[in-house]
Amino acid sequence: MFSEQLIGNLIQGLVLGTIYGMATMGLSLIFGVLKVVNVGHGAFIMVGAFVTLFLFNALGLNPILAIPVAFIIGMALGYLFYYTTIKRLIKAPELATLLATFAIGVLLEEVIKLIFGSEFRGYNWAVGKVSLGITVLPLSKLYACAGSIIIAVLLYLWFNKTRAGSAMRSVVEDSEGARVCGVNVSGTYALSFALGIGLTMASGVLLTMFIPVGINPYMGGGYTLKAFVIAVLGGLASPYGAFFGGLVFGLLENGSYTIFALIPGVEPFALTRFFSFVMLLIILLIRPTGLLSRK
Which region, judged by CB under 8 A, interacts with other proteins, from 176-184, 199-207, 240-248, 261-269?
A: 176-184
CB of 219 to other proteins, least distance (A): 36
The residue ranges of DSSP E strands in 74-229, in sequence order, are: 129-131, 136-138
Least distance to other proteins, CB of residue 176, Å: 4
C-alpha span between 206 and 18 (Å, rounded): 10
Spell out the residues 6+ positions from residue 155 whose beta carbon is closer than 8 angstroms to its own: 25, 199, 239
Cα–Cα dist 199/204, whole Å: 9
Q: Across the chain, which distance is largest between two alpha carbons, in Å?
A: 63
CB closer to other proteins, 182 vs 265: 182
Q: Which listed range, 74-82, 107-115, 169-177, 199-207, lies at the site for other proteins (CB under 8 A)?
A: 169-177
One of 5, 85, 166, 293 touching other proteins (CB under 8 A):
166
128-153 burial string, b = 16+ CB within 10 Å, else e?
Answer: eeeeeeebebbebbbbbbebbeebbe
87 binds other proteins (CB under 8 A): no
**161 touches other proteins (CB under 8 A):** no
**Angle, alpha carbons 18-142-120 (nearest 5°):** 85
β-pairing, 136-138 vs 129-131, is antiparallel
User: Which residue among 4, 94, 110, 174 contacts other proteins (CB under 8 A)?
Assistant: 174
What is the C-alpha R_g of the chain? Answer: 19
Q: Rounded to an integer, what distance in angstroms lies between the CA atom of residue 118 and that of residue 28?
A: 29
Minimum distance of other proteins from residue 158's CB (angstroms): 16
SS3 at position 93? coil
Nearer Cβ to other proteins, position 87 or 179?
A: 179
> Other C-beta atoms within 10 Å of 172: how many?
21
Q: How far is the CB of 13 from other proteins (least distance, A)?
A: 31
Distance CA 292, CA 151 (A): 21
Residues 177-196 touching other proteins, rule: CB under 8 A, are: 177-185
Taking CB under 8 A as the criterion, the residue among 169, 221, 225, 240 binding other proteins is 169
Q: In angstroms, what is the minimal distance from the CB of 87 to other proteins?
A: 14
Q: Which stretch binds other proteins (CB under 8 A): 10-18, 49-57, 175-183, 224-232?
A: 175-183
Taken in order 77, 81, 84, 88, is the CA torsion positive or negative? negative
**Residue with smaller CB distance to other proteins, 104 or 178:** 178
CB of 170 to other proteins, least distance (A): 5
Choose between 128 and 295: whose C-beta lies nearer to other proteins. 295
163 forms part of the interface with other proteins (CB under 8 A): yes
Binding residues for other proteins, rule: CB under 8 A, are 163, 166-167, 169-170, 173-174, 176-185, 294
